[in-house]
Amino acid sequence: MLDDSFAYAKEGIWEKWSRWLLLIISMIIFPLILGYIVRIYRGTKPAPELEGWGSMFIDGLKLLVVHIVYWAPVILLVILAFIPLVSALITSGALFEDFSSMSDSQSERWFDSHPELISDLLMAGGFMVILMIIACFLAIIITIFSFLGVVRFSRSGSIGEAFNFSAILAHIARIGWFSYILALMIITIIGYIFSMILNIFSFIPVIGDFVQLFVMIILYVPFILFSSRFSCLVYDAGEEKPLHTENPVVLSLINQ
């Protein structure tokens, strides 16, 4: 499965510089790159050509809607988590103070004159931690459903099918829960490694941020092809009938 995804990404853009450039441009008009991902989710092999720009743009907008609906609860929880903290800082005036220009004694006097701020910050911090923990658990649940939900939308063309949770659960059961969670962990780890590699370039003096941005633009295209193809293959593992193993994804990963 990993070999297939890597070969798919390599075949899709290697020595096909015009396609690579068009995909980079599509990242700027981001519904286009999302629409291209939809075509990969549909199982197109080899990597699809960039044509039918109008339909690709519309498909990208639909996929964007699916992602927004899925992740809106997490975004809302994160926003709510910071509201009490920001409110306490604004009410006390701390948000508008330049503590860096104050001496230690001046800072101490300022905090002594606002005794309620510490208790407000402690309460706001506790509230923020609780909501962030809930948001993390919710993000895990959303990932479990959305990973297959976006492919389901792409295959059916129906936004509603992205949220057909009973069908998604049945699909996961056919893949095997252990196999499915393992696949999610693998693609997550690969994503973190990819991010770490990009962050290394930011440590280059003076031009680090520019180099990081340049490398990200160049490498993000093959990563999109790789990860999208991987999602497609995980979904296909639940489409196989009959299944001769409870863990088709595990066997596919082992047999690389």
Which residues, other chains included, contact 139 with Cβ-Cβ below 8 Å and sequence gap of 6+? 71, 74
Instruction: Map residue 161 onto helix, strand or coil.
Output: helix
pLDDT tens digits, the chain, 256 residues: what are they? 888 998 989 888 887 888 888 998 898 888 999 999 999 999 988 889 888 999 999 999 999 999 999 999 999 999 999 998 888 777 766 655 665 666 767 666 666 666 677 777 788 889 999 999 999 999 999 999 999 999 999 999 999 999 999 999 999 999 999 999 999 999 999 999 988 888 887 777 777 778 788 888 888 899 999 999 999 999 999 885 543 444 545 545 544 5
The span from the CA of 195 to the CA of 189, in Å, is 10
- What is the pTM assigned to this prediction? 0.81
Calculate the alpha carbon distances from 167 to 59, 93, 176, 189, 198 in Å.
22, 52, 14, 27, 37
Domain ranges in the chain are 2-254
CB of 40 closer than 8 Å to CB of 63:
no
